[in-house]
């Protein structure tokens, strides 16, 4: 493979100071070297048709597919700077685009096992589909359901008829008691009893006749369904075998030139197996190519090009960190032997961030949480509102935190000092008796004065802790907003959340179906800044002891 055709040399790169550490890939921070290369790649993308891949729709009826691109600035064996380019997955149904690094393993290559073995799986899928569409199978199922419906109608009719006959017989008995002799009445009773038995026998025989027909049809259906189950089991087994073989062939190098397959990498992760598409993202492709060709990685960045997906939040030309579920385990291996920056989130100092107590009494207090301080301890960072409050009030440590704010969100928080207050405050949150107001600074001009956002949310299983919009499995999330002011290309708003979903205000602000303008400083859904410009400014609630309606506010610093 000719390495030179994948390297792009720029004079501008040589003018930028070379970093001493590789940038941490899971938290985006401005990296001049990588961004210089990214800007050059963006210009190239604008001039290429990429196999007619449509990144941006020109009208509502046009199908578009945005794509993640990445650049890796490297030092070649002569010490010169250049950059490599990659795209996630495929573009225009192809793994190969001129000037972009190839996949780590090309499933579609001529000598790959994939095409032949996938044909076996495809054939089984087709057999299942054909059997499910077989005219006899469809006809039998229709006949079965028709018989079940007919049985229900007939049985209901006979039951109602028997009920009506019983009422009529009771009326006959009542009338006969007045006019018939004892002997005549006895004969009538026998006659009526026979009619009752006849009704019951008719119902029984009807049910038996239908049941016999239904069982005969079920037996015929079962023949088809046994074949279906056998084919589906075989398809599942063949798919599993093929998937495992794919995972075994995806092998990644690290800076120490050590190789590991996807199965090796994910065996100790929280996932049972590698997720679909693992290894197809930009970062693994770029680093593997660099190691394979003895190029020294210096800086990496990924950016989104094109329209945003329906669920996720991706902005055209915005930079994004590597994903968590697919890339983090892989890059954990690939970055071994490379000097990498410390996780900036861990490096964020919170010890100098003071908690302001806004109000305090015997059983609860109200604080102003600073941006950059966790509400509760994390897996790595332990400094938090909870740990500090427990240190101040050791007798209350089992029942203090009533609700949470995101680490980068500042503002009003309630802290309980007694079990009674904790229970009462939590109950108000659960029953939505509290009213909260946030102030946010949006990174753009919002044209509407006020409105409501209704977008259900759930966690992005492939990229925690990100949240995505999901109308099928998401939890309801409602937000009302009002404009405070528009100034210098930005918009300050009030947010009134009616529900309390994770990242609700951040997603409702940034998503294309929401306000389509991220909050300033949002490192997950927008562009990082010195802080997230989101502040819990006001909370209204019932006093947990006196039950009076009270309001607490925290001044906003932006």
Question: Could you give the residue numbers annotated as active site?
Answer: 406
Are the C-beta atoms of 462 and 440 separated by less than 8 Å? Answer: no
In terms of phi and psi (left: phi > 0; alpha: psi -120 to 50; beta: otherwise), the region of 294 is left
Whether residue 508 contacts residue 515, with contact meaning beta carbons closer than 8 Å, is answered with yes
Comparing CA positions, the residue from 487, 340, 377, 350 lying closest to residue 27 is 340
Report the Cα 10 to chain-centroid distance in Å: 39
- CA 284 vs CA 92, 289, 304: distances in Å: 21, 8, 17
**Residues 293, 77: Cα–Cα separation, whole Å:** 9
Which residue in 69, 95, 104 sits closest to 83, CA to CA? Answer: 69
Count Cβ neighbours within 10 Å for each residue of 466-487 and write b for 16 or more, e otherwise.
bbbbbeeebeebbbebebeeee
- Distance of alpha carbon 454 from alpha carbon 204, whole angstroms: 55
Cα angle for residues 337, 326, 443 (degrees, 5° grid):
100
Dist. CA 413–CA 543, nearest whole Å: 14
Q: Please give the structure tokens belonging to residue 495.
A: 């947010």
386 token code pair: 């909870």
Tokens of 119: 């044909």
In which residue are the tokens 């660099």 written? 290
Instruction: Compute CA distances 16 → 34, 71, 146, 331, 338, whole Å.
Output: 10, 16, 77, 26, 21
- Which helix (H) or strand (E) segment is 158 a member of? helix 135-179
φ and ψ at 436, to 5 degrees? -120, 150
Pairing verdict, β 534-542 and 410-416: parallel
Distance of alpha carbon 440 from alpha carbon 414, whole angstroms: 20
Cβ–Cβ < 8 Å for 289, 6 = yes
Give the separation between CA 34 and CA 235, rounded to whole angstroms: 45
Considering only CA atoms, give the Rg of the chain.
34
Task: Give the Cα separation of 414 and 552 in Å (integer).
Answer: 10
């Amino acid at each position: 493979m000719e390495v030179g055709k994948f390297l792009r040399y720029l004079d501008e790169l040589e003018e930028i100071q070379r970093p001493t550490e590789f940038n941490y890939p899971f938290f985006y921070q401005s990296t001049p070297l990588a961004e210089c290369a990214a800007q050059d790649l963006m210009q190239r993308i604008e001039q290429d048709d990429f196999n007619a891949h449509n990144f941006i729709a020109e009208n509502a009826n046009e199908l578009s597919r945005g794509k993640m691109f990445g650049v890796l600035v490297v030092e070649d064996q002569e010490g010169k700077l250049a950059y490599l380019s990659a795209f996630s997955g495929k573009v225009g149904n192809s793994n190969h685009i001129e000037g972009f690094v190839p996949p780590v393993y090309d499933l579609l290559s001529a000598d790959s096992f994939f095409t032949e073995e996938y044909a076996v799986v495809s054939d089984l899928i087709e057999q299942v589909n054909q059997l499910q569409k077989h005219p006899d199978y469809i006809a039998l199922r229709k006949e079965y359901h028709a018989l079940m419906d007919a049985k229900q109608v007939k049985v209901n009719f006979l039951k109602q008829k028997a009920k009506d006959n019983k009422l009529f017989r009771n009326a006959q008995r009542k009338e006969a008691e007045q006019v018939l002799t004892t002997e005549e009445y006895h004969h009538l009773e026998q006659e009526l009893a026979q009619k009752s038995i006849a009704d019951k026998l008719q119902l029984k025989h009807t049910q038996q006749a239908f049941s016999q027909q239904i069982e005969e049809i079920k037996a015929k259906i079962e023949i088809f369904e046994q074949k279906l189950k056998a084919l589906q089991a075989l398809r599942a087994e063949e798919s599993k075998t093929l998937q495992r073989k794919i995972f075994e062939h995806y092998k990644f190098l690290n800076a120490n030139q050590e190789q590991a397959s996807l199965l090796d990498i994910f065996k100790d992760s929280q996932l049972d197996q590698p997720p679909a598409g693992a290894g197809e993202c930009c970062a693994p492709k770029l680093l593997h190519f660099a190691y394979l060709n003895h190029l020294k990685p210096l800086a990496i960045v990924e950016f989104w090009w094109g329209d945003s997906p329906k669920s996720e939040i991706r902005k055209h030309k915005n930079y994004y960190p590597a994903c968590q579920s697919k890339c983090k385990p892989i890059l954990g291996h690939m970055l071994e032997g490379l000097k990498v920056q410390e996780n900036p989130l861990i490096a964020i100092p919170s010890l100098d961030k003071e908690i302001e107590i806004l109000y305090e009494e015997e059983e609860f207090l109200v604080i102003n949480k600073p941006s950059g301080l966790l509400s509760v301890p994390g897996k790595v960072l332990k400094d938090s509102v909870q740990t500090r409050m427990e240190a101040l009030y050791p007798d209350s440590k089992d029942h203090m935190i009533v609700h949470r704010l995101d680490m980068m969100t500042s503002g009003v928080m309630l802290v309980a000092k007694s079990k009674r207050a904790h229970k009462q405050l939590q109950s108000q949150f659960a029953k939505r008796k509290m009213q909260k107001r946030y102030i946010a600074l949006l990174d753009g001009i919002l044209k509407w004065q006020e409105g409501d956002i209704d977008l259900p949310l759930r966690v992005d299983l492939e990229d925690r802790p990100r949240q995505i919009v999901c109308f099928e499995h998401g939890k309801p999330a409602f937000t009302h907003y009002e404009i405070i002011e528009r100034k210098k290309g930005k918009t300050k708003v009030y947010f009134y959340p009616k529900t309390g979903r994770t990242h609700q205000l951040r997603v409702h602000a940034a998503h294309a179906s929401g306000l389509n303008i991220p909050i300033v400083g949002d490192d997950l859904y927008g562009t990082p800044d010195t802080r997230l410009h989101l502040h819990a400014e006001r909370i209204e609630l019932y006093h947990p002891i006196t039950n009076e309606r009270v309001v607490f506010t925290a001044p906003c610093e932006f």
